Amino acid sequence: MRSHHDKIRQCLQDYPDGRTVAEIADCTRIPTDTLRRALDTCFGVYVDRWQGPYRGQWAAVWCVVAVPENCPRPE
């Protein structure tokens, strides 16, 4: 099984304000149904806020966790 997680995280890192599923799908060329399943298991991504409603539907805006370069390892 091929993982799309790296492509998703890279797309979200390029847009620090976040993206909706439709925008991530355009960026990564991953089908939306596959993308929705991948986002549920993708490490380091989260729903930051909701946009809408558009025609009665709210859209989740996904972001990626920014880990600082000098982050110390836990003891």
Average pLDDT, the chain: 90
Confidence class for position 68, pLDDT limits 50, 70, 90: confident
Q: Say yes or no to pLDDT of 74 above 50.
A: yes
* C-beta of residue 12 within 8 angstroms of C-beta of residue 30: no
Rg of the chain on CA atoms, in Å: 14
Q: How confident is the model at residue 75, as a pLDDT?
A: 82
pLDDT in tens, 35-64: 999 999 998 899 999 998 989 999 999 999
Q: Identify the CATH assignment for 5-64 out of 1.10.10, 3.30.70, 1.10.1660, 1.10.101.
A: 1.10.10
Report if pTM > 0.85: no
| Spatial distance between the Cα atoms of 24 and 12, rounded to a whole number of angstroms | 8
